[in-house]
A = this chain, B = another copy of it.
Amino acid sequence: MKNVFIIGVGLIGGSFALDVKSIFKEAKIFGIDINDNHIAEAKTLGIIDEKADLEDLPKADFVILAIPVDKTLQLLPSVLDKVKDSAIVMDAGSTKFDICKLVENHPKRRNFLAAHPIAGTEFSGPKAAFAGLYKNKTNIICEVEKTAFKLQEQALQLFQQMGMRIRYMNPEAHDKHIAYVSHLSHISSFMLGKTVIDKERNERDIFDMAGSGFESTVRLAKSSPAMWTPIFKQNKNNVLETLEEYIQNLNEFKTFIENDDFESVYQVMSNTNRIKEILKGIN
């Protein structure tokens, strides 16, 4: 693992670079980004050693694409075209079906590892990157059998050294489940933020009355629209299904309140308290 290329030097790519550097002292980190300010920032912050461009990819041993999922679809085939036979190319996107489909017949499919490290914060850009982001996080790998065994091994060893748990899934299952436990959370949070902002034109009132509960539920509404729009586009059908069910549940709860059926209001909340045990599992 000598020449490591980070395509997209933001939170995900930048944090990955910092971990790689602390594991492989001799690694040289190259940064590729359409935003020159991000490249400059990443250099200043010690995230990358050198700016590079796509024409430099033939010397890469490891490439991570950490860019919005629509950009990954555009870029991945040509990245695979350029790398040498022993290179590993991984993505880190929150959708897996389209990307796996896109390269299923690519002559360098064996160099690609379709991955989704479940890690991040609501912030973005190189300044948001930090070492240790991936520690104790789950990395979901799809269609692992399509990646060359030797390259799998190398990548898995790196993930283990970074402290990640590995889980294998097919792309369809990944996209379906992640719609529930991640994509829907982002929509509920964005729409909560919108509802409150639309109503509370006087921000002082929000500021004074909002507590940690509000903060927790709208935190994800700070997320990057450039990252999330293509995720919702690529995972359209699953996202629509989760949204449909979420809206149904909200309407049912609203009807309970309208009908003064507070017994049902109590019951549905009580049943949902089981989330405590599930969340304990996450920590």
Contact = CB atoms under 8 A, between A and B. Distances in A.
A222 B118 contact: no
B257 A236 contact: yes
Given A138-B208, A240-B257, A242-B195, A282 B215 contact: yes
Residues of A contacting B: mostly: helix
Interface string A134-172: 000110100000000000000000000000010100000
B200 A192 contact: no
Contacts of A265: 225, 229, 232-233
A181 B206 CA distance: 7
Contacts of A167: 208-209
Oligomer: number of copies: 2
A279 B218 contact: yes
A272 B213 contact: no
Contacts of A208: 138, 140, 165, 167
Interface in A264-283: 265-276, 278-279, 281-283
26 contacts: A121-B212, A140-B209, A165-B208, A167-B208, A181-B200, A181-B210, A181-B211, A182-B209, A182-B214, A185-B214, A187-B250, A190-B253, A191-B249, A198-B245, A206-B278, A207-B278, A210-B278, A213-B220, A216-B217, A225-B266, A225-B269, A229-B262, A229-B269, A232-B262, A243-B250, A243-B253
